[in-house]
Structure 1
Amino acid sequence: MNPSQQKVRQYWQAANARDWAAFAELLAEDIVYEVPQTRERVRGRQAYLRFNQTWPGDWEAELLRLLGEGDQAVSEIAFHLRQADSVKTETGISFFEFDAAGRICRIVDHWPAPYEPPPRACDCIERF
């Protein structure tokens, strides 16, 4: 596992453990976090830390896939949100960038929600 992959693994482990001191150590002071679907942006380590500390509910990020090389990495997670009598799971795809010191300086999160595709006039599509 290369350094960028290791940092992302540590990021998700610290988040799941709610180990906010370890989580903060992975972040650059000037980190920028963005979610294109909701057009949310959070700037700075302390703001991003508060953003995560105040996420509502009982959640866990299950790391499914991790790729990385040099100063970039991407992870796919199953984000499990436990509610009163059920668990809602969404897919999260996170793109990470690292600064010269090896800290996470940018994260772009994509939360693709499933949808039913439109009818097609071909038989080449396989549903899975």
Structure 2
Amino acid sequence: MAGCRLVRMTELRKTVESFWATAEARDWDTFADTLAEDVVYTLPQTRERISGRERYVEFNREYPGDWHLRIERIVAEPEQVVTWTHFTVGLEEMYAISFFTGDEHGRISAITDFWPEPYEPPAGRDHLVERY
């Protein structure tokens, strides 16, 4: 049983790694192969949801700007993978945290993206922190 869970964790992790690599390469056919046909993509900050592989691929294909990405960290469990990703769009930099759920075929069935905005910390804690 534990061996089966490890295989599923490894499979989904590899699928998510391929998802990001093919997105960066703009290889939309291979990108689509990482997704379940009924994939659901959710953006909580904007309260948007995209249902279905074709619509989600088109959403990414049409995304404006010359964006690029780099995976900072991947954490994998048998049915879920979480990534911390660094994006650039021109001179703008941003980070995303993405939660991926897999289906029984090793494809991505659900994605939830969080795009936290950077902000200046509150005053009064300079003596406790180091800014980077």
Shared fold per TM-score greater than 0.5 = yes
Other-structure match for 2:102: 98
Matched, 1:23 2:31: yes
Return the letter of the residue paired with 2:24: N
Matched, 1:64 2:72: yes
Return the letter of the residue paired with 2:64: P
Residue 108 (structure 1) shift: 0.3
Q: Which moved more, 1:115-124 or 1:57-66?
A: 115-124
**Structure 2 unmatched ranges of 5 or more:** 1-8
Other-structure match for 2:57: 49
Greater strand percent: which structure?
A: 1
How many corresponding residue pairs?
A: 124
Residue 78 (structure 1) shift: 0.7
2: distance between equivalents of 1:58 and 1:127?
Answer: 29
Return the letter of the residue paired with 2:103: D
Q: Name which of 111, 116, 122 aligns with 1:118.
A: 122
Once superposed, what is the RMSD of the aligned Cα atoms?
1.6
Matched, 1:108 2:112: yes
Matched, 1:40 2:44: no
**3-state SS of paired residue (1:2):** helix
1: distance between equivalents of 2:68 and 2:44?
Answer: 22
Greater helix percent: which structure?
A: 2
**3-state SS of paired residue (2:118):** coil
**Structure 1 unmatched ranges of 5 or more:** none
**3-state SS of paired residue (2:122):** coil
1: distance between equivalents of 2:97 and 2:48?
Answer: 15
2: distance between equivalents of 1:78 and 1:123?
Answer: 29
1: distance between equivalents of 2:51 and 2:108?
Answer: 12
